[in-house]
Amino acid sequence: MRRWLGLLLGLWLLGGAALADDGFEDVPFDYGLQEILITAAGDVTLGGNMRDNPASNFYMETLEAAEGNLGWFFQNVRDIFSQDDMTLVNFEGTLTNATQHIGNTFCFRAPPEHVQALTLGSVEAVALENNHVMDFLEAGYADTVAALESQGIVYASEEHMGVYEVGGARIALLAYQTFDDYPRLFEKVPQDVAAAKAEYDLVIVSFHWGAEKDYAPNENQVKLARSTVDAGADLVLGHHSHRVNPIERYKGVYIVYSLGNCSFSGNTQPDDMDTFLFQQKFQLQNGELTRGAFRIIPCSISSVTAASGQRSGKNDLAVTPFAPESEAAQRVIDTMLSNDGGLEYAVAHYPTEWMEW
């Protein structure tokens, strides 16, 4: 992580203060150019389904096969995550030892100490607004928040705006789940975003929305996403469908309708294990933000299928990039392109390498 930028900024500020005390004319101080690199990934579910048969725990079986190495899950993307300024995922599950749960078909739970899987993977922030964060009721949610905070991982929910600072930049993270709640959110989200934009340099909004296995957003998603941008959001990220969705560029802001899965223990062998990482660069200079280039990194949610290039197979929970220029990598891109017909501002090209600003 490039946190050394904060030290440089501090030195610049001290230099600026010294000059101001010299009696020379007070002129605007140039704080220099700061580049910010954001990585976003989809649904991360650590833990087994503890509702019906806790003894049959696919997650723990995978971890045991990895000899208890909590770094297993992100080991093949850690180099990518560690070279950015912030990695943000949707954390869909709980970190708790609580046993009382709600009536979901699936109730996911991992021990609180397994939060280290995120830190070992260089994940700095999570969206914590989805349909599984309350699987183990208020106690499970409180334990999850405590586990995240113990490792310095920033979280965002509707009731809690996350704030992440890198160098001199302050990033606001907002998160919402939309199920049967669009009328309220059409009004609330733009208000929240506008308030955040007035105080922070960069505003990123995450939505848990849409229907499972959908490859494209519905009308409500599109309407909410664009109103979020109109209110001042700099990046919109979506998840829940467990499938990749197209990306729009609306008023210069990217709307990533669904990032698909990431390290996902909710299914031993999903019928579509393709996914991608989304990266975007921003520049901040003298308080002015410029939104820059993006790229995607096509992946599989399993190292097994990443190696074979297959769309489905054994899920070993180790999210892994496909080989560059491979048929499998192109398949991810083709899926997104083939499902963008109803989107007026859909991007026409999905670069896997950085392009010029």
Residues 6+ apart with CB under 8 A from 280: 37, 38, 235, 254, 291, 292, 293, 294
Q: How high is the mean pLDDT of the chain?
A: 91
- Closest to 262 measured CA to CA, from 29, 46, 112, 9: 46
Angle subtended at Cα 79 by Cα 306 and Cα 318, rounded to the nearest 5 degrees:
35
The token pair at 148 is 């995240």
pLDDT at 52: 66
Per the CB < 8 A criterion, the answer to whether 236 and 207 are in contact is yes
The token pair at 333 is 């891109």
Distance, in Å, from the CA atom of 36 to the CA atom of 31, rounded to the nearest integer, reads: 15
pTM for the whole structure: 0.90
**Average pLDDT of the residues in 120-148:** 96
- Closest to 39 measured CA to CA, from 202, 352, 278, 201: 278
> Taking 70 as the threshold, does the pLDDT of residue 259 lie above it?
yes
**Average pLDDT of the residues in 150-174:** 97
Characterize the bridge pairing of strands 235-239 and 253-256. parallel
List, for residues 195-251, the tens digit of each pLDDT value: 999 999 999 999 999 999 999 999 999 999 999 999 999 999 999 999 999 999 999
Rounded to a whole number of angstroms, the CA Rg of the chain reads 21
List, for residues 167-189, the tens digit of each pLDDT value: 989 999 999 999 989 999 999 99
Report helix angle 219-230 to 182-197, nearest 10: 20
pLDDT at 31: 55
Distance, in Å, from the CA atom of 69 to the CA atom of 75, rounded to the nearest integer, reads: 10
Strands (DSSP E) found in 178-220: 202-208
